[in-house]
Chain A
Amino acid sequence: MQEQFTSRWGLILSVVGIAVGTGNIWRFPRIAAANGGGSFLIPWVLFLFLWSIPLIMTEFAMGKMTRYGTVGSFAVLVGEKFAWMGTFVGFVATAIMFYYSVVAGWCIRYFFLAGTGQLLNSADHEGTWNGFVDSGWQPVLFHCVAITAGALIVRRGVVRGIERANRFLIPTLLGLLVLCCLRAITLPGAGKGLAYLFTPDLSTLLDYKVWLQALTQNAWDTGAGWGLILTYAVYMRKQEDVGLNAALIGLGNNSVSLLAAITIFSTVFALIPEQAAEVISSSGPANTGLTFIWIPQLFSTMPGGALFSAFFFLALSFAALSSLISMIELSTRVLMDMNFSRQSALLSVYLTSLVLGIPSALSMDFFLNQDWTWGIALMVSGAFMAIAVLRYGVHRFRTEQINGPGSDFRVGRWYEFLIRYGIPTQVIVLIAWWFTQVIRADPSHWWNPFAAESVGTCLFQWALAIVIFMAANRMIVRRTLKR
C-alpha cells in the first residue's frame, strides 16, 4: 500500500520545502539588484504566472494521475517509447542533487561557524571562505553531513520522514526569515534599501535582458519542471486539489524570495550605503560572494550580529535541506518504481550521491560546470513536461486531470494556450539567449566540451545522457511498468 500525505497542509508544506531553497535567499536579491531592482520585479511577477504556476499544475496532475515517478509518468502519459524523456528529467534533478548537497554542506558549516561565534571573530571573511573551500576535506565532510541528514529523513518514509521534517523545517525557516527581516528593516537607513528594491527604471524595464533574467529566476527557484513536485504528487490523496495548490506554492515561494530580498537590501544599504548596490550584485564563484563573504562582514558591524548571523545561516541550512530531501526522494521513487524496496533504493541513491558529490566539493571548476550544464537542462525538462501534456492531449489533461475530482479551482483555457505556445517559446528563447551570451563572451572556446561553462559542455553531457537513456529505454520501462 502506497503512503499518502496525511493532509493538504502536509503536502503543501512539503512542496513549499522543494520550492524554497538557497536560490530564494542568495540568488534572488543578487539578480534583482543587478537588473534594476523595481524594474526586475515586474517581469518576475509576470513570469510566475506564465512559467512557474502552469508547470507546477502539470507536475501535480502528472504524479496524481499516474502514481509513478518521472520515468513511469512519461511512459504512461506519452508512451513507452518516450519514457527516456522522463529518465532525462529525473537524471537532471539527480545530477543537481550531487552538487546541491555540497551547497547544503557549506550552509551547515557556516551555521556552525556563526553559532560558535567563530564567524564574526574573524577579521578576514574572504580568507575564511577560501580557507574552507580550499581545505579539501572540510567541504567533503559537510557534503557527507548534508546528504546523510537528508537520507536519514527520507529513510523514514513520506509521512514519518518527509512530511514530519517539513512540518518543522518550513515554519521554522519562515519564522527565522521574518525575525531577520524585522531586524533588518528597523536598522537606521534601511529605507534606502527598500527604495532601491522597489524603484523602477523605465529604461531598464525595456531591456530584454531584464526579462530573460526574470524568467530564468522563476525557472530556477520555484522548482517547476524539475520533476520534484511530480514525485511528491505521487503521494497526494485521491481527492486532492491541483490548481489552487499550485497557485499557493508558486506565490508562497515568491513571497519568501521577497522577504529575503527586503532583508538583504535593508541590511546592506543600512550598513554600507555607498557600496551597497555593487556589493549586492557581486557574484563571486557560484554566487557565493554576497552570502559567505559580505553577509558575515556586515553582521560583524551590527548590534546583535552574532545572533542574527546564526539565524540567517540556520534558515539557509533549512532551506537547502528541505530541497535536498525532495531530490533524494525523486531518485529513490524512480528506483522504487523499478521494484526496489525503499531501503535498498535509498541506499543506492545515498551511496551514489556520497561519491559523486565529492568532485564538486573538491573543485569549484567542476562545481561550476555541473551547475551550468544541469541548471540550463532544467529548461529542457520544462519543455519535456509541456511535450508530455501535448501528446496526451492538453484539453483532456486540463479537464480530466487538473480540473478532476477534488478540484477547488477551475483552471481555464489559458492553461492550454500556455502549454501549447507559452512554455515552448520561453524555453527556446531562454536557451538561445544563454548560449548566445557564452558564444559572444568566448568566441574561440564556446564549443569545447571540457570547458567549465561552454555550449559544448552542455550539448555533450545532455547528448551523452539522452543516448544512454534511449538505448536503455526498453529495459527501464519494462522494469518500471511491471509494478
Chain B
Amino acid sequence: MSTLSIFVMVIVLTVVWGGFGLSLFIAIHKENHKS
C-alpha cells in the first residue's frame, strides 16, 4: 500500500469508526451521568 492509501485509510477510519466510537463514549458518559 502506498503512503497516500495509508493516509486515506487512516483519515476515513478515524472519521467514521473514530467518530462512532467517540459518539458512543460520550453517549455512555452522558447516560451514566443522567442515571
| A interface, CB within 8 angstroms of B | 8, 12, 38, 41-42, 45, 48, 191, 194-195, 198-200, 239, 241, 244-245, 247-248, 251-252, 254-255, 258, 408-409
Not counting A251-B19, A258-B13, a sample of 11 additional A-B residue pairs whose C-beta atoms are within 8 angstroms of each other reads: A45-B16, A194-B9, A195-B2, A198-B6, A198-B9, A198-B12, A200-B8, A244-B27, A251-B16, A251-B23, A254-B20
Q: Is the CB of B2 within 8 A of A199?
A: yes
Say whether, besides A195-B1, A199-B4, A255-B17, A244 and B26 are in contact (CB < 8 Å): yes
Q: Is the CB of B4 within 8 A of A200?
A: yes
- The interface residues of chain A lying within 8 Å CB-to-CB of B24 are 248
- The interface residues of chain B lying within 8 Å CB-to-CB of A248 are 20, 23-24, 27
| B interface, CB within 8 angstroms of A | 1-2, 4-6, 8-9, 12-13, 15-17, 19-20, 23-24, 26-27, 30-31, 34
Give min CB distance, B16 to chain A, whole Å.
Answer: 5
Give min CB distance, B4 to chain A, whole Å.
Answer: 7
Q: Is the CB of A41 within 8 A of B23?
A: no
Say whether, besides A8-B31, A255-B20, A41 and B12 are in contact (CB < 8 Å): yes
Give min CB distance, A210 to chain B, whole Å.
Answer: 14
Partner of B12, one of A8, A12, A45: A45
Complex alpha-carbon distance, A8 and B24, angstroms: 11
Give min CB distance, A67 to chain B, whole Å.
Answer: 22
CB nearest to A192 among chain B residues: B1
Partner of B1, one of A41, A48, A194, A241: A194
- The interface residues of chain A lying within 8 Å CB-to-CB of B5 are 38, 194-195, 198-200
- The interface residues of chain B lying within 8 Å CB-to-CB of A258 are 12-13, 16-17
Complex alpha-carbon distance, A251 and B15, angstroms: 9
Say whether, besides A198-B5, A199-B5, A408 and B30 are in contact (CB < 8 Å): yes
10 A-B pairs within 8 Å (CB atoms) are namely: A45-B12, A45-B15, A48-B16, A194-B1, A200-B8, A239-B34, A248-B20, A251-B20, A252-B20, A258-B17
Complex alpha-carbon distance, A451 and B9, angstroms: 42
Complex alpha-carbon distance, A42 and B23, angstroms: 20
Q: Is the CB of A41 within 8 A of B8?
A: yes
Give min CB distance, A306 to chain B, whole Å.
Answer: 30
- A-B interface, 3 closest residue pairs, ranked by CB to CB distance from nearest: A251-B20, A198-B9, A248-B23
Most chain A beta-carbon contacts within 10 A, residue among B20, B24, B34: B20
CB nearest to A7 among chain B residues: B31
Give min CB distance, B13 to chain A, whole Å.
Answer: 7
Complex alpha-carbon distance, A258 and B12, angstroms: 9
Complex alpha-carbon distance, A408 and B8, angstroms: 31
Give min CB distance, B22 to chain A, whole Å.
Answer: 9
- The interface residues of chain B lying within 8 Å CB-to-CB of A245 are 27
Most chain B beta-carbon contacts within 10 A, residue among A8, A45, A198, A245: A198
- The interface residues of chain B lying within 8 Å CB-to-CB of A247 are 19, 23
Complex alpha-carbon distance, A144 and B5, angstroms: 45
- The interface residues of chain A lying within 8 Å CB-to-CB of B20 are 248, 251-252, 254-255
CB nearest to A44 among chain B residues: B12
- The interface residues of chain A lying within 8 Å CB-to-CB of B19 are 247, 251
- The interface residues of chain A lying within 8 Å CB-to-CB of B23 are 244, 247-248, 251
- The interface residues of chain A lying within 8 Å CB-to-CB of B27 are 8, 12, 241, 244-245, 248, 408
Complex alpha-carbon distance, A42 and B24, angstroms: 23
CB nearest to B15 among chain A residues: A45
- The interface residues of chain A lying within 8 Å CB-to-CB of B8 are 38, 41-42, 198-200
Give min CB distance, A334 to chain B, whole Å.
Answer: 30
Give min CB distance, B12 to chain A, whole Å.
Answer: 5
- The interface residues of chain B lying within 8 Å CB-to-CB of A48 are 16
- The interface residues of chain B lying within 8 Å CB-to-CB of A200 are 4-5, 8
Give min CB distance, A270 to chain B, whole Å.
Answer: 15
Complex alpha-carbon distance, A38 and B9, angstroms: 8
Give min CB distance, B11 to chain A, whole Å.
Answer: 8
- The interface residues of chain A lying within 8 Å CB-to-CB of B16 are 45, 48, 251, 254-255, 258
Give min CB distance, B18 to chain A, whole Å.
Answer: 9
Give min CB distance, A260 to chain B, whole Å.
Answer: 13
Complex alpha-carbon distance, A430 and B34, angstroms: 42
Complex alpha-carbon distance, A38 and B5, angstroms: 8
CB nearest to B20 among chain A residues: A251
Complex alpha-carbon distance, A364 and B34, angstroms: 51
